[in-house]
Amino acid sequence: VRHLYICDFHKNFIQSVRNKRKRKTSDDGGDSPEHDTDIPEVDLFQLQVNTLRRYKRHYKLQTRPGFNKAQLAETVSRHFRNIPVNEKETLAYFIYMVKSNKSRLDQKSEGSKQLE
């Protein structure tokens, strides 16, 4: 049996999210949109300016020319928070890719080999 290990930080993060979900469903009797504020924040201010610019270019975000890093990070952060995500599908795909020891880059290289 092959075992996958994760660091303590991510293990604790996963457990805290699970505990929040348990408390949320037991406190109010179900998932209600008004209690959906336990979304983990991603600190995009730690990214480099070039990374923020690539994100902006990839998603075709409209900004004024000459934005500084803080303004760019705020714009990207606002966009990132509003992207709809199908959580179950994303987690299932992630687990499949981890268990099969693949990445999206592997899929792209396999596709190009088939064309040759």
State the maximum Cα–Cα separation within the chain, in Å, rounded to a whole number. 57
Cα 16 to the chain's mean position, in Å?
A: 17
HSE of 79, CA atoms in CB hemisphere, 13 A? 17
- 69 lies in which domain range? 40-100
Task: For residue 20, tell me if it sits in a domain.
Answer: no
Task: For residue 87, tell me if it sits in a domain.
Answer: yes
Query: Could you give the C-alpha distances from 90 to 21, 71, 116, in angstroms and in order?
Result: 18, 29, 31
Task: For residue 5, tell me if it sits in a domain.
Answer: no
Q: Mutual orientation of helices 69-81 and 49-58 as an angle, nearest 10°? A: 40
pLDDT at 103 over 80: no
Which pLDDT value is given to residue 72? Answer: 93
What domain count does the chain have? Answer: 1
Task: For residue 89, tell me if it sits in a domain.
Answer: yes
Task: For residue 35, tell me if it sits in a domain.
Answer: no
Task: For residue 59, tell me if it sits in a domain.
Answer: yes
User: Rounded to whole angstroms, how far apart are CA atoms 64 and 75?
Assistant: 11
pLDDT at 112 over 80: no
Give tens-digit pLDDT for 13-70.
Answer: 777 777 766 655 555 554 444 444 556 678 888 999 999 999 999 999 998 888 899 9
In degrees, rounded to 5, the angle at the alpha carbon of residue 64 between the alpha carbons of residues 59 and 65 is 100
Mean pLDDT of the chain: 77
Assess contact for 44 and 77: CB atoms under 8 A.
yes
Tell which wins on pLDDT, 48 or 7: 48
Task: For residue 8, tell me if it sits in a domain.
Answer: no
Task: For residue 4, tell me if it sits in a domain.
Answer: no
